[in-house]
Structure 1
Amino acid sequence: MSENADGAEQAKAGDPARALPGGGTPVPPGDPASGPTPADQAAAPAAPAPAPAPASAAASADPAAAPADQAPASAAAPAGPAPAPAPAAPAPAPAPQAGAQAQAPAPQPAQDPWAVRTPGAGAQPGRSAAPAAPPAPPIAPGLRGHDPAAWHLWQMHQFRLSQEKAREEAAARAANSMWSRIRPAEAAPVRTATLVAVLAAGLTTATVLGDGMGPGLLLAVLPAMVAAYAAARAAGRKARPWSLLWAAGCVALLAVPALRDSAWPSTLAILAAVLLAALALHGTSRWPGVLLAPLGFFDSAVTGVGWAWKGVRSRGGGASRDRWVSVIKALLVAAVLLIVFGALFASADAAFADLLGELLPDVSVGEGPFRFLLFLLGAVLALAAARTAAAPHRWDRVRSRQWKARSRLEWSLPLIVLNLLFAGFNAVQLAVLFGGYDKVLESTGLTYAEYARQGFWQLLWATLFVLAVIAFALRWAPRGGAGDRRLVRSVLGTLCLLTLVVVASAVRRMDLYVDAYGLTRLRLSVVTMELWLGLVIVLLMAAGIAGGRWLARAVVGSAAAAVLAFGLASPDGIIAEYNVNRYQQDDKLDLAYLRDLSADAAPYLDRLPEPRRSCALMPIEAELRRAADAPWYATSLGEHRARQILRDRPVTASVEECSRLGAFGSRVE
């Protein structure tokens, strides 16, 4: 067999340098089988052209060889019968002959749909050239210096592989991202009970919240809770004890606006109720989930609308549509009957008419847009709660980065120094407590108020900083064994005990300040916060002994309980009672501040002598007069009691008398 046939067999054997994607057999430059390069031809001496080969020799050539009119014959062959003609195929380069060097044309690769054709590279007439390919990877050694079309095919193939690899890497990164871990699963299809409860929540919100908070807030939330319960049951979620506890706490906190007229404890109660609702719906128990759970409502509010619309469309045909039409017809008939017979009974009996006037809202046409917005708000919030209950975010999958543990000396030395500082400060506080404040005031030249006020805020910040120090110390704590655990417990436990003394000192200082200048909202709030921080420190000490898996829930539960107790205790009533008792003892009264209290303070301000009583109750009376037409669901218990007090004993003092008593002076916090 000829040398060309030998080259073809070598390409078929799997030589990577000789195989082309298009089916040819190119070889790298410098290979003897590839023939001389143009530079070699220029350097070689001219040689006479070989004699034409006989027909028998051309007929006996390898079938893969080029036709005689395209390339010279490679060598003479013995005469013999001519083989049958074979299909045309690209021929390998001919081997060099003695005394003659001939260059065969490059093989033509197979047509490929990926190949980019340009006018100078075999473009067909009448067809526009495709856009240029992106930057190519490094040239394959086996393709350098050969057919441009085959080389371009290899370029496109490598580019496609790189694109597929990039897509696979992006998909892997997305699968391992934080959002993919916490993203909620596909929610179960929304049920009819959920849609009805959402509709009821929107209607209740538009009806009762347009006139104010009061008991109406709790009435508007109850249908949303029913919607969330129905969605959770449809998704197969069972109520857990902690979820039931958070739900009960949410309802109790929403009762604060129904009992108290003061806005600031009601606002705290509503915020705490939102947090407990998020915990009840998500079922989280770890710190990341506790802190991030309320954020899930924002995503559920957006996806909940599409979820509900999909459920409505699925019920738009067949038996489901007929059932909905029947329900709507029944509701319309019931509404017509109620309107007709209710109007007849109201016109027949005045007492029944008054009862209907108190129960039913008084809605005018001008309030239509505002009521419609309230309807949308209530429905969207109810959908957010239901969507969260059906498919909650998995916040417990959030994992914080494990911090590097420090050595015992590196970790314990700063904390031991801090403990020594706290011990020295507490020793001074005990000396002042047993030695008396008078001696301290004489040596410092400060008054009671100055001594108390200059230290309380610093001690409050010190307590907050201690909690931050403990959090970071636990992250960097040594974790080598039982000895390291004993070291951590002893050092941090000592710091917690010393911090409790600081908390007691701060509360004592505020007590001195209140005794000198009276009680205000700010002073009562910060004392309550300081006491709660002391409770958190006690919980930290208990977690150091019994383990801290329950700590996040305990801290949240204690905060919610503190807010609930704060609201139920009526802060404005406590402030009014304290200042009235103080006035009865030493005749000191900040009348201008008492006038700023809400209707919750009316039972205690009613104990003041005239004209101070009337001056203190005058703003409350004016506010109640403006809200005289408020329905029952927009009136709190504090407002109701104040109305009864002012109805029995109206305000009698004049503005001039109140001005002489300093009722219009500056407020003092």
Structure 2
Amino acid sequence: MSPNRVLLTGLLGGACAAVLLPLEEPGLGWLLTAAVVFALVRKVRPGWTALSLLLFATGALVADADVFTLCVVAGCAAGSLAVVGGRTARGLLLGSTAVLVAIPPALPWLARGVKASGSTRMARPIVLTAAVLAVFVPLLAGADAAFAELLGESVPEVDGQWIVVFLAVGLGVVGACRLAGSPEPEHVPGERRTVALREWAMPVGALVALFTAFVGVQVTTLFGGDDYVVRTAGVTYAEYARRGFWQLLAVAVLTLVVIAVAARVADSADRTWLRGLLGALTVLTLVIVASALARMWIYQQAYGFTTLRVLVSACELWLALVYLMVLVAGVRMRGGWLPRAVLVSGFLGLVGLAVLNPDRFTAQRNVARWEATGKIDLDYLRRLSVDAVPVLATLPEPMRQCVLQYRYVSGDDWRSWNLARSRAREALRESHPTGCAR
């Protein structure tokens, strides 16, 4: 793609983003903007493109800003991979940020190309066009209220946010076009440095022994019940679950690093040792992940569900899936597919999490817990996002009024339309919260 075309594509992409993106909240405009950007870049990989669009589409489903922010970051990474691709773990890591890194060197290339082609003549008509529109659009808007209202609904105000969006997306499109037009470098595998068997087998074997002892205790704990924990640890079962969860999560993540390093440095002649030790370590870590999930489940049963607890449980489930994939790769002794599978499963997991809608799910579980036990934390439920409103509207009075009385859901235009907010507005219209009984 020529520099002139890249320049015009970047300007068009930035302008479309400034019109379409609802920065204040998740909405349909995020998906529309991503679709426009991919259409402008054109030379993209369909698999990563579809995954990126799915991640941005969550803006039309979930209203929780935290969950959607995770999806936006992952969507940008998948979008970058749609431009440059990636096979190995290193390639995927670099590819997920390639478009961002490509922006600074793309700007001087763009300036040199435009200058060399003599297309600086295009600057004059572009400036004149902008000047003409700047004069006549306000005049016509002042002459007719309906036309002014149409402009107000379709064109955002020109402020600092508009300029930031225009520049960010426009420069991103320029970087993506520059990368898409460059020949893909040949993949040349680097020299693999291996170490002696004892250098990796001894630490891994020590971990296997340590994990075996720990898993033995966990099996006794899980089947021994609350009485066993109180006798041995002097705490309640819920306190025991809360105290150990984060440590077990850290163990599961760090063990992945150990497995990756050992698989990298082990000699191919040590296949039997590699398969035996890493397979045992993977299976034991799966038991530890199951223990962490069991602890979180016990904790939630004792104290109720929260959005954070749902998110970390989802993270643990994804880690369990990753370890299962590692186990399959170890059995086959072929792991070239593993880095992409791990990344894709993580991105799809985020999409699934958005479809589940953590705040709505948390509200459902807390309402179910109240129906079963009579226990409910209204102060926490009041702090959930509007995703939870339709569920909270099913509570009886006066609890419903208590959790919904200060709720307000702003209206959406075509850019910011969101299914969760739409359902929340309907639920609020039907419930009419007026007061909170103490």
Q: Do they fold alike, i.e. is TM over 0.5?
A: yes
* Separation (CA, whole Å) in 2 of partners of 1:299 and 1:246: 19
Q: What is the CA distance between 1:414 and its match in structure 2?
A: 3.4
For the residue of structure 2 that corresponds to 1:620, the secondary structure is coil
Identity %: 35
For the residue of structure 2 that corresponds to 1:474, the secondary structure is helix
Closer, same or farther: CA 561–369 of 1 in aligned 2, 3 Å? closer
Matches within 5 A, 1:312-331: 312-313=114-115, 316=118
Larger helix percent: 2
Q: Are 1:569 and 2:356 an aligned pair? A: yes
Aligned to 1:269: 71
Aligned to 2:300: 514
Closer, same or farther: CA 479–445 of 1 in aligned 2, 3 Å? same
* Separation (CA, whole Å) in 1 of partners of 2:310 and 2:17: 33
Q: Are 1:648 and 2:430 an aligned pair? A: yes
Matches within 5 A, 1:44-443: 188-190=1-3, 192=5, 194-209=6-21, 212-213=24-25, 214-229=27-42, 232=43, 243-313=45-115, 316=118, 346=146, 356=150, 359-361=153-155, 363=157, 367-391=158-182, 394=185, 399=190, 402-407=192-197, 409-443=198-232
Closer, same or farther: CA 221–445 of 1 in aligned 2, 3 Å? same
Closer, same or farther: CA 360–551 of 1 in aligned 2, 3 Å? same
Structure 1: segments with no counterpart, 5+ residues: 1-187, 233-238, 348-352, 661-669
Structure 1 letter corresponding to 2:379: A
Closer, same or farther: CA 460–392 of 1 in aligned 2, 3 Å? farther
Q: What is the CA distance between 1:478 and its match in structure 2?
A: 3.3
* Separation (CA, whole Å) in 2 of partners of 1:462 and 1:211: 38
**Which structure has the larger Rg?**
1
Q: Are 1:610 and 2:397 an aligned pair? A: yes
Higher mean displacement: 305-314 or 639-648: 305-314
Closer, same or farther: CA 455–299 of 1 in aligned 2, 3 Å? closer
Structure 1 letter corresponding to 2:267: P
* Separation (CA, whole Å) in 2 of partners of 1:612 and 1:620: 14
Would you say the 8 A contact 2:241–2:296 is kept in 1? yes
Aligned to 1:631: 413
* Separation (CA, whole Å) in 2 of partners of 1:601 and 1:392: 49
* Separation (CA, whole Å) in 2 of partners of 1:362 and 1:228: 24
* Separation (CA, whole Å) in 1 of partners of 2:23 and 2:314: 32
Q: What is the CA distance between 1:570 and its match in structure 2?
A: 0.6
* Separation (CA, whole Å) in 1 of partners of 2:2 and 2:196: 51
Deviations 1:114-162 (A, max 9, x none): xxxxxxxxxxxxxxxxxxxxxxxxxxxxxxxxxxxxxxxxxxxxxxxxx
Deviations 1:53-108 (A, max 9, x none): xxxxxxxxxxxxxxxxxxxxxxxxxxxxxxxxxxxxxxxxxxxxxxxxxxxxxxxx
Q: What is the CA distance between 1:218 and its match in structure 2?
A: 2.1
1:539 to 311, 325, 329: 325
Structure 2 letter corresponding to 1:468: V
Q: What is the CA distance between 1:306 and its match in structure 2?
A: 3.2
Would you say the 8 A contact 2:322–2:342 is kept in 1? yes
Q: What is the CA distance between 1:315 and its match in structure 2?
A: 5.8
Closer, same or farther: CA 439–368 of 1 in aligned 2, 3 Å? closer
Would you say the 8 A contact 2:252–2:288 is kept in 1? yes
* Separation (CA, whole Å) in 2 of partners of 1:420 and 1:221: 49
Deviations 1:620-645 (A, max 9, x none): 32xx2xx34x5331242211111111
Structure 2 letter corresponding to 1:216: G
For the residue of structure 2 that corresponds to 1:632, the secondary structure is coil
* Separation (CA, whole Å) in 1 of partners of 2:65 and 2:181: 33
Q: What is the CA distance between 1:303 and its match in structure 2?
A: 2.7
Would you say the 8 A contact 2:22–2:29 is kept in 1? no
For the residue of structure 1 that corresponds to 2:403, the secondary structure is helix
Aligned to 1:601: 388
* Separation (CA, whole Å) in 2 of partners of 1:325 and 1:559: 47
Relative contact order (alpha carbons < 8 A, sep ≥ 6): 1 or 2 greater? Answer: 2
Aligned length: 435
Structure 2 letter corresponding to 1:215: L
Q: What is the CA distance between 1:579 and its match in structure 2?
A: 0.6
Q: Are 1:559 and 2:346 an aligned pair? A: yes
* Separation (CA, whole Å) in 1 of partners of 2:206 and 2:101: 47
Q: What is the CA distance between 1:470 and its match in structure 2?
A: 1.1
* Separation (CA, whole Å) in 2 of partners of 1:247 and 1:371: 25
